């Protein structure tokens, strides 16, 4: 813990020099931010003033094994002492072992691994692979990529134009990347196409993708990319028909299917990978976050063997290079992370504690008129707030619902920031039922206080 003077000096230095993502330093100064974290354990973190908080979203739904696992630090240190990097054109033992491990645990024939540093890079790599693949097969006209409106796949120049979530405004970065097409979200609670059940919405949204392919011509479409469960709309679980239909549609038209498992992967949904809920194997799967629980930068693009084989042979390699691709220190840390996850049954814990968490969130509907929908699976959950349950109307911007709730969550010891009417929840997979109860208590109190201020609180 730092002294009051040291802490204020750190905060002022941050406000003056640090460009934090998605935060404005003027507003942070007014709010007494940023909080400066100094240590963590499990789902809890401690700031430089010595106050302990619960991190409701485990970083960015990414610290899957929880904070404070010194085994990861030990693995990274041991590799760094042995060999911190590698000569060009060579590789290292942990990098090879990680690729082997990912091939072992990935569905189907997903077995060729291109390591990268983050989720945006993994999806950029996937885009380059699908376009280069079609060219090698003699179909250079296939360059268009279908994503779902409102989805988020990263913020680098290409993937920024996939989906385009509201939290990722793009007008600063125009002109648009060419060949981007948008399909509806299979969100049963707010089905864009009017589906009244999860199944009906799933079928309508899958057929809409086929209509897009036919309208533009299959010979121009390279791939479809989507999150198995969309965190962009808040744990949007599609009806069970959606992914099998999408797999069939892509196969029918020679379009590659990319599953963005950056958030969903590595146990988040109670399966190692979310696509396993539907027994569907994509052509390419992108992973990040939970692969290393954010202890170091690492991600990967994992490709089916039959797709990767198009890049074999002299002068046929994928022309794509990133300096930190296959970094041995990150690879060693990721191997230890996966080992911890498997040895301690964290995927099963996500399924079991996630089901308990969802039950508790469902109970909020009894006392809180603001709660419109509770959804998700495993420890990828969401609560959607509405001003009217019957009409599903959202709040006016001037009601400042996200800002007011953020203040209340903070008052009750939760690191939990929202920027819309959806409370997206994704804690470390090591969370216990007791810790779920602590989070629920903070959310419950925060909603009571907000409803009281709005004059809509229920009385006992």
Domain boundaries, the chain: 35-68+345-454, 70-343
Q: Is residue 394 within 8 Å of residue 30, measured between CB atoms? A: no
Q: Which fold has domain 70-343?
A: 3.40.640
pLDDT of residue 1: 60
Q: Work out whether the CA dihedral 308, 310, 314, 316 comes out positive or negative.
A: negative
The set of residues, in sequence order, having a beta carbon less than 8 Å from that of 65 and lying 6+ positions away, is 72, 293, 337, 340, 341, 344, 346, 428, 429, 430
Q: What is the pLDDT of residue 35?
A: 87
For the structural domain made of 35-68+345-454, what CATH number should be given? 3.90.1150.10
Task: Residue count of the chain, please give it.
Answer: 460
CA distance 43 to 374: 22
Q: How many CB atoms lie within 10 A of CB 420?
A: 17
Q: What is the pLDDT along the chain (460 residues), one digit of tens a residue?
A: 678 888 889 888 989 898 887 788 888 888 888 889 999 999 999 999 999 999 999 999 999 999 999 999 999 999 999 999 999 999 999 999 999 999 999 999 999 999 999 999 999 999 999 999 999 999 999 999 999 999 999 988 889 899 865 545 677 888 888 899 999 999 999 999 999 999 999 999 999 999 999 999 999 999 999 999 998 888 899 999 999 999 999 999 999 999 999 999 999 999 999 999 999 999 999 999 999 999 999 999 999 999 999 999 888 889 899 999 999 999 999 999 999 999 999 999 999 999 999 999 999 999 999 999 999 999 999 999 999 999 999 999 999 999 999 999 999 999 999 989 999 999 999 999 999 999 999 999 999 999 999 988 775 4
Q: Which run of H or E residues covers position 364?
A: helix 346-367
**Dist. CA 320–CA 16, nearest whole Å:** 37
Nearest by Cα to 423 from 437, 444, 454: 444
Residues with Cβ within 8 Å of 177's Cβ and at least 6 positions away in sequence, in order, are 157, 158, 160, 161
**Rounded CA gap, 439 and 445, in Å?**
10
pLDDT value of position 173: 81
226 in Cβ contact with 148 (< 8 Å): yes
Paired sense of beta strands 221-226 and 256-260, if any: parallel
Please check whether the two domains, 35-68+345-454 and 70-343, share a CATH topology: no
> What distances in angstroms separate CA 255 from CA 49, 217, 247, 366, one per listed residue?
53, 11, 9, 46
Q: According to the model, what pLDDT value does residue 21 have?
A: 79
User: Torsion-angle region of residue 164: left (phi > 0), alpha (psi -120 to 50) or beta?
Assistant: left
The three-state secondary structure class of 192 is coil
Three-point CA angle 19, 22, 27, nearest 5°: 75
Please give the pLDDT value at position 3.
Answer: 82
What is the enclosing helix (H) or strand (E) of 450? helix 433-454
Q: CA nearest 361: which of 349, 339, 376, 346?
A: 376
Residue 166's pLDDT is: 53
End-to-end CA distance of the chain: 43
Q: What is the pLDDT of residue 459?
A: 58
Distance CA 381, CA 234 (A): 7
Dist CA 444 CA 458 (whole Å): 13
């Amino acid at each position: 813990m730092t002294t009051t003077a040291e802490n204020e000096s750190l905060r002022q230095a941050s406000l003056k020099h640090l460009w934090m993502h998605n935060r404005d330093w003027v507003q942070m100064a007014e709010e007494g931010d940023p909080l400066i974290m100094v240590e963590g354990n499990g789902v809890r973190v401690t700031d430089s003033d010595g106050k302990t908080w619960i991190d409701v979203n485990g970083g960015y739904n990414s610290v899957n094994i929880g904070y404070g696992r010194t085994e990861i630090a030990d693995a990274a240190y041991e590799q760094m002492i042995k060999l911190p990097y590698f000569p060009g054109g060579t590789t290292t033992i942990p990098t090879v072992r990680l690729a082997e491990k990912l091939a072992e645990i990935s569905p189907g024939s997903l077995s060729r691994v291109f390591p990268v540093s983050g989720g945006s890079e993994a999806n950029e790599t996937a885009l380059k692979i699908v376009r280069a693949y079609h060219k090698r097969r003699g179909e250079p006209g296939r360059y268009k990529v279908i994503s779902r409106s409102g989805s988020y796949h990263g913020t680098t120049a290409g993937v920024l134009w996939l989906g385009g979530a509201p939290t990722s405004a793009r007008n600063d970065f125009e002109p648009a990347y060419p060949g981007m097409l948008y399909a509806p979200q299979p969100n049963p609670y707010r089905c864009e196409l009017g589906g009244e059940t999860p199944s009906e919405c799933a079928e309508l949204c899958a057929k809409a993708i086929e209509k897009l392919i036919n309208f533009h011509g299959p010979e121009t479409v390279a791939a479809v990319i989507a999150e198995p469960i969309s965190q962009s709309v808040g744990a949007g679980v599609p009806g069970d028909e959606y992914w099998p239909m999408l797999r069939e549609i892509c196969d029918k038209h020679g379009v590659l299917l990319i599953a963005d498992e950056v958030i969903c992967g590595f146990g988040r949904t109670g399966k190692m990978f979310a696509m396993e809920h539907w027994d569907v194997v994509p052509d390419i799967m992108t992973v990040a976050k939970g692969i290393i629980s954010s202890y170091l930068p690492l991600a990967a693009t994992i490709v089916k063997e039959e797709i990767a084989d198009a890049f074999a042979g002299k002068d046929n390699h994928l022309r794509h290079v990133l300096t930190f691709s296959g970094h041995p220190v990150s690879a060693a840390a990721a191997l230890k992370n996966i080992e911890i996850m498997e040895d301690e049954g964290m995927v099963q814990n996500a399924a079991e504690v996630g089901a308990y968490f969802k039950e508790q969130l469902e109970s909020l509907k009894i006392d809180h008129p603001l709660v419109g929908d509770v959804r998700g699976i495993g420890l990828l959950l969401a609560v959607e707030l509405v001003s009217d349950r019957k009409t599903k109307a959202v709040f006016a911007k001037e009601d400042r619902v996200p800002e007011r709730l953020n203040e209340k969550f903070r008052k009750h010891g939760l690191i939990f920031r929202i920027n819309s009417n959806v409370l997206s929840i994704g804690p470390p997979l090591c969370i216990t039922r007791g810790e779920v109860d602590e989070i629920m208590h903070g959310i419950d109190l925060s909603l009571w206080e907000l409803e009281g201020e709005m004059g809509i609180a229920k009385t006992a």
